[in-house]
Each structure stands twice: as C-alpha cells, then as structure tokens.
C-alpha cells in the first residue's frame, strides 16, 4: 500500500512503468472508512483528493467498494456522496483550468463525485481508471465537452573627415568623438547641473556647515589644552573657573557633534534625492532622443552599447554632478580656510607643514593622465561585454540548437576577463598613487612633531606670549589631518572626474547625434492618403559607394497589389524601407499620392503604413496589448474583430488566459505562425492605406501558411500592398509583379505576362524554383 502524497506540494515524478496500487490510502484512513461501510464491504479503490465538493480546499477520500462509489470529506467523516455501482453507467472527468471534476453518470443524470486540483491529478486519474474497472459494463469513450484540457504551449555608413583631426567622422555625429573638447564637455555638464541649482546650493551649504563642524573642534582642542588643562596655579577659585570653562567647551563640542549628525542626515537625503533626479532626467533625455533617431543609427550601434549609455553612464554622471562636483568646490574651500588658519598662527610651521602639498598635486596631475587611457580601455571592454550579452541571450535557442554553449561561454569569459584586467590595471595604478601620496603627506605630520615639538620645548614662558604652546601643536596636528584629507580626496577625485568625462563624452555622443530622418521645417501633415506610390529614378545604398537600388522607377495605383520579386540582395526589402522612409533615397524621389516623402511629416506617413515582417516582433505583454500596439485606444470588440480576421481568435481562446496571456519576451511563448497572425491582427487593427508584407509566410508550415494567406487575403482588400515572397505561388493574386535584379527593375507585368517572356528574369526564377521542387519531390 503506497503512502498518500501531500497535496499542494510539488510532486517529484513517479517511478516509471510501475502500476499504482488502486487503494492509495493509509491504513488508518482505511480503518476509519471501513467503520462507516456496511459489514463485509471491501475497499477496492481509494485516493485522497485536495478539494471538498462543491469547491473548497480540504481533503476528501474517494472510495470504490465492491458495492458503491462514495466520497467522504476527512474533516467530518460522513459519507457525502454515495452512488451504488449498479446505477453508474459511466464515469466522466471534466478538466477545467486548475481543477477537475469527476462525475458518475446514471440514467437520471450526472452526479458530481469529487473535485481536485492538478496537484493530485495523477493519483486521482489512476483512481478513476481503477473505478472504471469496478463498473458493471465498460463505459463508452466520451468526448470531453470542454474540448480537452487546454494546454499552454511553453514554448556604415559614409564617413566625412573631421575638420580638425581628419579622421573619418560618422555623418550623424555633430562632433568628432576624438576631438571632443574636455573643457567644453565639463562646461556642458555644469550647464546641465545648473538646472538643479537650488538643491545643489542647499547641499553645498549643508556640506560647508559639516566642514566647519570638522575644523572647528581643532580650535576648541587648542583652547582646552592651553587655557584649561595647562594649570600652573592650583588654588580653589582658579580650579573652579577652569572647570566652568571645561564644561562649557565640552558642551560646545557635544553640540557641534549633534548638529553635525543632524545636518549630515539631511545632506545625505538631499544628495540622494538630487542624484536620483539627475539620473532620471538624463535617462529620459537619452531615451527620448534615441526614439527620434532613425533606423540607420540602430544599424550601426549594438543594443548593449546603447543600453550601457542609458544605464551605466548616467549613473556615473549622477555621482559626478551630485557628489564629485560639490566635494571638489568644498575641498578647495576647506584647504584655503585651513591654510589661512595655520599661516595666521605660525607662518614657518605652516609652510613646513604644507610643503608636501605641491608634490601631491603634481603627482595627482600625472596620475590623471595615466588613468585616463586605462579607464577608456576599461569602458570599452565593459561595452563589449554588454554587447555580447545582448547579442547572445536573445539567440539562446540558436546557441543551444547548434550546441555552441562552450564557444559562447569562452567568448564571454574572454570579454569578462579583459574587463577585469582593465579594472585591475586601473586599481594597480591607483593603489601605487594613493600609497605614495600618503607617504609624502605623512612627512608633513612628522615635520610638525619634530619642529613643532622643538619650538614648544624652547618656549620660555610656556604660554602664547612665549611662542608655540602645546595647544597650538595639537591644533596643527589636527589641522594637517584636516588639510591633507581633502587634498587627497581632490587627487583621488581625479579618478571620478575622468570617469565622468568619459561617460559625459559617450552620453553627449548620443545626444549630439542628429536624427537623420527628422522632419523638415516646412514638412506638411499628410492627410488620409489614397495609397498611390511612385519611385522616380531612385538610387540608394546603405554605403553610398555600393548602391543597392539603381535608377528604379515605377508607379503603383492606389489599391493595387504589387509583388516584389528577385533573388536575395536584389533590393526588395530596401524598396519597402524607402516607402516607410526608414532611409532617404540618395538620389531621385519616392512619392506617396504625389508628395515627396521627405516633404511630409514622418509620423503622418508611417501612421498610414502597416508592416507584416518575416520575423514578427511582439513585445512582452498580453496578447490584447500586442494587437492594440498601434491603436492603444482600440475597443476590446475591435481587437477581437482584428484577431478573427487574422485567423488568430481560435488559438488565442485555447490559451487558459485567452487575450490576457503574456506572450513572453519577443513573443517566445507563441509559435512562429501564431506570432505572425498576431502581427497581422495588429496590422488589421491599424487599418493602413499601404500594406507591406515582407516574406510574411516564409517561415511557417503549409497548414499555417494557408491560414495566414487567408488572413492576408482579407487584409489586402482595398489597400495598396507590396508583398515580398520567395514562393511565387503566393503572389498569384498580385495585380503586377516588379522584378528586381542587382538593384535594377528589370521586368514588370502580371504573373502570366512575365511567365510568357522567353528568357525573362521572372521565368528563370520560376524555372529554378520548379526544378528545386522536383528535386525535393524525388528526394522524398
């Protein structure tokens, strides 16, 4: 007899091939049940369910005896359902989402027996099978009225030379990245910071107060030593007077400490708030600008590189603008105040104490130059590492399918180690610099102890009138520590300034990039178009030296369906890219309803174009949200209508969450055909005047292709359509075919007209496809 598994807890697989015991109840449970049965009655089947009828959580026993089927909730130990075996015609299971209901069918109707969740479905189904064996006649197989369990499927640019350095400069850049003026860069960063001048001033004042709180105790300590503790006369009134002074000074010191703590808490909060605000504004600016940039820009830059600008560099600039910048100013001020205090007390001692300062400054400047290159190198490594991740992670299925995990691991390991090495190099240089400056600065303290101590011992009176006192010496020691701390911080800050300069350079590189598809100043709003398209002597190349389209001219009437045909690389996708104005023609013009696309507002043009791509892109979100992506205000009825037109409604409803189902990142929880139909629904809902189908059916099986073609037939009706397809059979309903070869339009006409051309380009392509189909057929 097997032990009963705990419902509700994940069960770890069962032993394969082992026939389960029909009575899956503990001895104690069986004993209890037998007490409620008739004398001589035998338990043949038993299992524990995790729900109690009609539908609450709790345990109940399903029991089959030689006489009946009964169900007993374990909490009240009474028979809840009791059906004699002779009355049962059949057993029927109704599988819902998350639970199942087992019913006994009798001539009078269905009697619910037991309900249970998926957690115990294995043993309950085994019990169901065993119960069927008890029935007088074998029950007929019955179709599930719910249609069975709905299973959720898991599833270049031309370069102009920089006028200054003559290096090639990307044309979309306003400034040459190599010649970016660092001072100009800092001015720009400061200009951005000036927007937040109020909180910056607030933080500055709070920090200045904190610095005062750090310096002032040195003066109090000097008073403590010289005026209170250095006691020559031990008479009662003098001691009383000194004690008064002692309590007063200790009270002031305590007040300074408390005030410093309160102010520091306020300063920390304000700085954090300011930092988050600055970063948020930077991120939004960059993202808004990125949305304005053309497809061109994304062709050139890797996603990881761009993401690093939006996240990593903005964080570095946050530190610079909210922390480094202010601390730099405050440290300089602190240095000046301490220097004035020291020189006013004893110029020679102050001179000796501060003698190492210029050496530290020279060392800092040299260090800045050395680390600049190392930091740049480290940043480039980090960007490459991000780029690698963003490239490989979305393609993890391909990596696994080609068993390239080890190679990808090696590549990542290399990038990661290079980044680590760059940072370790920077850390090594920094450690050397930091320790050597520390050593130089320690000479200053030694000088004060040596020369200062000498002066104290040679003070004839022992008080201020005779020269240097013990109190002055203590104060000098405290002030030197306060002096070299900001000085060292200033030199260390060179690292943060370098990081900020590098990040600033990279962020401004994005912000300075000019949108190459920006609307002209006099661009007009394109009203509702008819959909006539004309290419007038269009030449275009992603690299101007190698044109992809050469002097292409054609006219398409509104509502026509055009098939774009040609071998790979002939310029078919480029043609549709120019219609959408993802790129501008190098020469010639693309006209929509007689308007040059460069003279109209890009948004008003693209609003009237729908695209269905070979690899449809879905965003992480619900199916309904993806269909409504182009029309966020669409009603649910319109969304369902579009899904039905795209032959998507039926498969959507088979998902447990229906239109609420999350499609996963890039739609990975859907199959290729399902993603394609969602993207068609998206295009249907947008109701575009011009429709572009770029190999919309090439990556799906024949049955799915038939469904997609059916959907497309509905979609193309009444719209100007450009369809690219390698399977020419799918273009038979096109009004005309345009045949491209090596960027030139070589033929134009109907399917039949082009087929009739002996040695025509289209005829040759069709012949090649036919012969390939024959080879495949023979092979099969």
Q: Which of 529, 535, 538, 588 is nearest to 562 (CA)?
A: 535
Residue spans of beta strands (DSSP E) within 434-568: 533-540, 549-556, 561-565
User: Which residues, numbered 604-623, are part of the site for other proteins (CB under 8 A)?
Assistant: 622
Residue in this structure with the two tokens 């032959």, named with its chain if needed: 647
Phi–psi pair at 473, nearest 5 degrees = -60, -45
Q: Which of 219, 483, 209, 481 is nearest to 345 (CA)?
A: 219
Q: Under the criterion CB under 8 A, does residue 13 sit at the interface with other proteins?
A: no
Tell me how far apart the terminal alpha carbons of the chain are, to the nearest angstrom. Answer: 53
User: Which residues, numbered 150-209, are part of the site for other proteins (CB under 8 A)?
Assistant: 152
- The distance of closest approach from Cβ of residue 114 to other proteins in the complex, given in angstroms and rounded to an integer, is 13
Cβ-based nearer residue to other proteins, 105 or 764: 105
Question: Crossing angle for the helix pair 702-716 and 636-645, nearest 10 degrees?
Answer: 120
Q: Under the criterion CB under 8 A, does residue 715 sit at the interface with other proteins?
A: no
Q: Under the criterion CB under 8 A, does residue 624 sit at the interface with other proteins?
A: yes
Distance in angstroms (rounded) separating the CA atoms of residues 44 and 447: 99
> What is the chain's length?
780
Which token pair is 583? 């790129």
User: Which residues, numbered 653-682, are part of the site for other proteins (CB under 8 A)?
Assistant: 653, 656-660, 662, 664
Q: Under the criterion CB under 8 A, does residue 293 sit at the interface with other proteins?
A: no
CA distances in angstroms from 526 to 8, 105, 370, 594, 737, listed in the order given: 60, 67, 56, 11, 28
Indicate which single residue of 533, 645, 680, 737 sits in contact with other proteins (rule: CB under 8 A): 645
- The distance of closest approach from Cβ of residue 619 to other proteins in the complex, given in angstroms and rounded to an integer, is 15
Q: Is 541 helix (H, G, I), strand (E, B) or coil?
A: coil
Which token pair is 606? 């693209």
Cβ-based nearer residue to other proteins, 12 or 401: 12
Cβ-based nearer residue to other proteins, 598 or 654: 654
Cβ-based nearer residue to other proteins, 271 or 661: 661
Give residue 739's region: left, alpha or beta (phi > 0; psi -120 to 50).
beta
Q: What is the size of the binding site for other proteins (CB under 8 A)?
A: 50
Phi–psi pair at 752, nearest 5 degrees = -65, -45
Q: Under the criterion CB under 8 A, does residue 262 sit at the interface with other proteins?
A: no
- The distance of closest approach from Cβ of residue 10 to other proteins in the complex, given in angstroms and rounded to an integer, is 6
Return the range that interacts with other proteins (CB under 8 A); candidates 111-119, 258-266, 465-473, 474-482: 111-119
Q: Under the criterion CB under 8 A, does residue 376 sit at the interface with other proteins?
A: no
Distance in angstroms (rounded) separating the CA atoms of residues 33 and 336: 92
Cβ-based nearer residue to other proteins, 99 or 687: 99
Distance in angstroms (rounded) separating the CA atoms of residues 702 and 720: 26
Indicate which single residue of 5, 20, 96, 462 sits in contact with other proteins (rule: CB under 8 A): 96
690-694 and 533-540 beta bridge pairing: unpaired
Distance in angstroms (rounded) separating the CA atoms of residues 242 and 588: 96
Cβ-based nearer residue to other proteins, 143 or 522: 143
Q: Under the criterion CB under 8 A, does residue 312 sit at the interface with other proteins?
A: no
- The distance of closest approach from Cβ of residue 89 to other proteins in the complex, given in angstroms and rounded to an integer, is 11
CB 691 within 8 A of CB 718: no
- The distance of closest approach from Cβ of residue 647 to other proteins in the complex, given in angstroms and rounded to an integer, is 7
Q: Under the criterion CB under 8 A, does residue 637 sit at the interface with other proteins?
A: yes
The site string for other proteins over 56-95 (x = CB under 8 A, - otherwise) reads xxx-----------------------------------x-
Exposed, middle or buried: residue 210 (CB in 10 Å: 0-12, 13-18, 19+)?
Answer: middle
Return the range that interacts with other proteins (CB under 8 A); candidates 97-105, 300-308, 353-361, 432-440: 97-105
Cβ-based nearer residue to other proteins, 117 or 223: 117
Q: Under the criterion CB under 8 A, does residue 125 sit at the interface with other proteins?
A: no
- The distance of closest approach from Cβ of residue 77 to other proteins in the complex, given in angstroms and rounded to an integer, is 17
- The distance of closest approach from Cβ of residue 683 to other proteins in the complex, given in angstroms and rounded to an integer, is 15
CA distances in angstroms from 300 to 158, 501, 542, 543, 548, listed in the order given: 11, 23, 11, 12, 18
- The distance of closest approach from Cβ of residue 411 to other proteins in the complex, given in angstroms and rounded to an integer, is 27
Cβ-based nearer residue to other proteins, 125 or 593: 125
Q: How far is CA 64 from the centre of its chain?
A: 55
Return the range that interacts with other proteins (CB under 8 A); candidates 20-28, 175-183, 517-525, 648-656: 648-656
Helix (H) or strand (E) holding 374: helix 356-392
Cα torsion angle, 126, 130, 135, 139, sign = positive
Indicate which single residue of 108, 137, 522, 780 sits in contact with other proteins (rule: CB under 8 A): 108
Count of alpha carbons within 13 angstroms of residue 521, beta-carbon side: 0
Indicate which single residue of 14, 158, 555, 714 sits in contact with other proteins (rule: CB under 8 A): 714
Q: Under the criterion CB under 8 A, does residue 131 sit at the interface with other proteins?
A: no
- The distance of closest approach from Cβ of residue 117 to other proteins in the complex, given in angstroms and rounded to an integer, is 6
Cβ-based nearer residue to other proteins, 35 or 147: 147
Q: Under the criterion CB under 8 A, does residue 460 sit at the interface with other proteins?
A: no
Indicate which single residue of 67, 641, 742, 744 sits in contact with other proteins (rule: CB under 8 A): 641
For residue 103, the cross-strand partners are 92, 112
- The distance of closest approach from Cβ of residue 99 to other proteins in the complex, given in angstroms and rounded to an integer, is 4
Q: Under the criterion CB under 8 A, does residue 47 sit at the interface with other proteins?
A: no
- The distance of closest approach from Cβ of residue 637 to other proteins in the complex, given in angstroms and rounded to an integer, is 7
For residue 51, the cross-strand partners are 57
User: Which residues, numbered 356-375, are part of the site for other proteins (CB under 8 A)?
Assistant: none
Write the DSSP assignment of 141-208 as a string of letters. P---TT-S--PPP-----EEEPTTT--EEETT-SS-GGG--HHHHHHHHHHHHHTTHHHHHHHHHHHH
Cβ-based nearer residue to other proteins, 9 or 545: 9
Residues contributing to the site for other proteins (CB under 8 A): 8-10, 51, 55-58, 94, 96-99, 101, 103, 105, 108-110, 112, 117-119, 121, 143, 145-147, 152, 622, 624, 636-637, 640-641, 644-645, 647, 649-650, 652-653, 656-660, 662, 664, 714
């Amino acid at each position: 007899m097997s032990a009963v598994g705990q419902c509700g807890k994940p069960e770890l697989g069962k032993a394969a091939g082992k026939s389960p015991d029909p009575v899956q109840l503990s001895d104690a449970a069986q004993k209890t049940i037998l007490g409620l049965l008739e004398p001589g009655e035998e338990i043949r089947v038993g299992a524990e369910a995790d729900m109690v009828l009609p539908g609450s959580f709790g345990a109940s026993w399903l029991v089959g005896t030689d006489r009946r089927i009964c169900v007993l909730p374990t909490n009240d130990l009474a028979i809840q359902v009791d059906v004699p075996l002779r009355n049962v015609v059949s057993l029927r299971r109704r599988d819902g989402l998350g639970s199942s209901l087992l019913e006994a069918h009798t001539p009078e109707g269905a009697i619910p027996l037991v309900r249970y969740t998926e957690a115990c479905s294995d043993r309950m189904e085994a019990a169901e099978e065993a119960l069927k064996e008890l029935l007088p006649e074998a029950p007929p197989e019955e179709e599930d009225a719910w249609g069975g369990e709905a299973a959720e499927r898991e599833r270049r640019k031309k370069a102009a030379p920089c006028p200054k350095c003559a290096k090639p400069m990307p044309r979309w850049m306003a400034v040459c990245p190599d010649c970016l003026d660092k001072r100009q860069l800092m001015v720009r960063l400061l200009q951005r910071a000036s927007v937040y001048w109020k909180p910056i001033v607030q933080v500055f004042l709070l920090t200045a107060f904190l610095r005062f709180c750090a310096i002032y105790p040195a003066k109090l300590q000097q008073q403590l030593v010289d005026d209170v503790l250095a006691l020559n006369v031990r008479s009662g009134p003098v001691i009383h007077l000194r004690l008064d002074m002692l309590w007063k000074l200790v009270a002031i010191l305590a007040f300074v400490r408390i005030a410093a703590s309160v102010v520091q808490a306020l300063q920390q909060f304000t700085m954090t708030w300011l930092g988050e605000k600055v970063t948020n504004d930077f991120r939004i600016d960059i993202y808004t600008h990125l949305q304005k940039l053309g497809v061109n820009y994304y062709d050139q830059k890797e996603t990881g590189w761009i993401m690093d600008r939006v996240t990593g560099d903005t964080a570095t600039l946050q530190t610079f603008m909210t922390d480094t910048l202010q601390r730099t100013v405050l440290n300089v001020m602190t240095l000046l105040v301490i220097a004035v205090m020291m020189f006013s007390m004893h110029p020679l001692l102050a001179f000796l104490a501060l003698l190492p300062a210029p050496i530290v400054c020279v060392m800092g400047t040299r260090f800045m130059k050395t680390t600049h290159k190392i930091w740049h190198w480290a940043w480039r490594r980090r960007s490459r590492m991000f780029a690698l991740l963003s490239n490989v992670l979305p393609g993890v299925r391909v990596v696994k399918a080609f068993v390239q995990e080890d190679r990808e691991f090696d590549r990542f390991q290399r990038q990661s180690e290079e980044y680590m090495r760059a940072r370790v190099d920077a850390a090594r240089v920094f450690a050397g610099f930091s320790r050597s400056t520390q050593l130089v600065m320690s000479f200053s303290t030694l000088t004060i102890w040596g020369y200062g101590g000498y002066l104290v011992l040679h003070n004839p009176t022992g008080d201020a009138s005779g020269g240097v006192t013990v109190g002055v010496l203590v104060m000098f020691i405290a002030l030197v520590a306060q002096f070299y701390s900001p000085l060292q911080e200033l030199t260390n800050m060179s690292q943060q300034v370098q990081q900020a300069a590098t990040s600033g350079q990279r962020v401004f590189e994005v912000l300075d990039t000019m949108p190459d598809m920006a609307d002209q100043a006099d661009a007009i709003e394109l009203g509702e178009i008819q959909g006539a398209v004309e290419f007038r002597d269009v030449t275009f190349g992603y690299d101007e030296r190698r044109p992809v389209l050469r002097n292409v001219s054609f006219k398409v009437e509104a509502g026509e369906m055009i098939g774009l045909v040609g071998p790979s690389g002939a310029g078919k996708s480029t043609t549709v890219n120019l219609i959408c104005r993802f790129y501008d023609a190098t020469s010639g013009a693309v006209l929509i309803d007689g308007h040059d696309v460069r003279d109209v507002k890009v948004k008003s043009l693209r609003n009237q174009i729908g695209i269905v791509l070979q690899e449809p892109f879905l965003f992480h979100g619900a199916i309904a949200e993806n269909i409504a992506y182009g029309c966020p205000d669409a009603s649910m009825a319109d969304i369902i209508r579009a899904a039905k037109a795209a032959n998507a409604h039926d498969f959507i409803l088979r998902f447990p969450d229906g239109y609420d189902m999350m499609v996963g990142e890039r739609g990975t929880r859907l199959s290729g055909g399902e993603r394609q139909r969602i993207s068609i629904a998206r295009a249907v809902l947008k109701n575009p005047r011009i429709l572009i189908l770029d190999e919309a059916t090439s990556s799906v099986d024949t049955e799915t292709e038939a469904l997609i073609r059916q959907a497309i037939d509905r979609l193309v009706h009444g719209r100007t359509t450009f369809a690219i397809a390698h399977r020419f059979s799918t273009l038979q309903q096109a009004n005309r075919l345009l045949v491209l070869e090596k960027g030139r339009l070589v033929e134009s006409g109907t399917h039949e007209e082009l087929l009739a051309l002996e040695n025509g380009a289209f005829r040759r392509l069709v012949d090649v496809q036919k012969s390939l189909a024959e080879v495949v057929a023979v092979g099969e």
